[in-house]
Amino acid sequence: MRSIWRTLDAELWRGVLAIAVAAAVNGASFGAIAVSAGFPLWVPVVMSLLVFAGGSQYLVVGVVAAGGSPIAAVLGGLVLNARHLPFGLAVGDVVGRGWAARLLGSHLMIDESVAYAMAQRDATRARAAYWACGAALFAAWNLGVLGGSLAGTLVDDPSTLGLDAVFPAVMLALVLPALKDRAKLLPALLGAAVALAATPFLPAGVPVLLALVGLVAVPRTQALTA
């Protein structure tokens, strides 16, 4: 039987490689920031292996480093990763039916692996794309975090190298295309305004949670655009 990996063409592999390189750079930024913020080297490394969710990891480190409550950090991470619930419904058959495949496949379930899988024209290619992208990004992210954590022990302030700006820049680049849709722009602006206004008065991490009030604008916005 022909291997499912042969169903993937060179263009898809180039896309996966490009994303993996970006993940390694982003992971290095996270590792350096975490260690420079006072976390032991093993914390970002183990967190990346067990959590493997860059946005949530940055959020937890940022909140705790700023003096915020670990509970607020964890709640923020859970909210940020709530998108994985519909992801799982969308690619459940792609991941596999065995418990081992589902357990490992769930760990590799990130935005990119889901997007690559759903973009394929048949189930075989979708399965291969999901596992190829997920595995490549897992390896790249964790190697980047390890390298960044080691480098962070040598740098007192990562901002001197601009590493603290990597994650916000990446998140902004991911969000900007979605903001062309008015139904998404208004809730995002409302949430950002609430978080910005609450930041001087509330503990770190709480303004991020309050930004969820932006979601109340979704039904009204959708009605206007319907």
Q: Are residues 167 and 190 in the same domain?
A: no
- Which range of residues forms the domain containing residue 54? 4-178
HEC per residue, 6-42: HHCCHHHHHHHHHHHHHHHHHHHHHHHHHHHCCCCCH
Classify residue 25 as exposed, middle or buried by CB count within 10 Å of its CB (0-12, 13-18, 19+).
middle
Q: How much is the mean pLDDT over the chain?
A: 77
Q: Are residues 153 and 212 in the same domain?
A: no
Gyration radius (Cα) of the chain, Å? 19
Report, as an integer, the average pLDDT of 196-207.
Answer: 72
| Number of domains within the chain | 2
The most confident of 82-96, 113-127, 135-149, by mean pLDDT: 135-149
pTM above 0.75, yes or no: no
Q: Are residues 194 and 172 in the same domain?
A: no
Among 12-16, 21-25, 99-103, where is mean pLDDT lowest?
Answer: 12-16
Q: Are residues 94 and 196 in the same domain?
A: no
pLDDT at 52 over 70: yes
CA-CA distances (angstroms) from residue 163 to 47, 71, 151, 152, 167?
Answer: 19, 26, 11, 10, 8
pLDDT at 221 over 50: no
Task: Identify the residue with better confidence: 188 or 5.
Answer: 188
Q: Are residues 112 and 190 in the same domain?
A: no
Helix extents (H) in the chain: 10-36, 42-50, 54-65, 70-80, 84-95, 99-107, 111-118, 123-152, 166-175, 182-198, 206-210, 217-225
Q: Are residues 186 and 173 in the same domain?
A: no
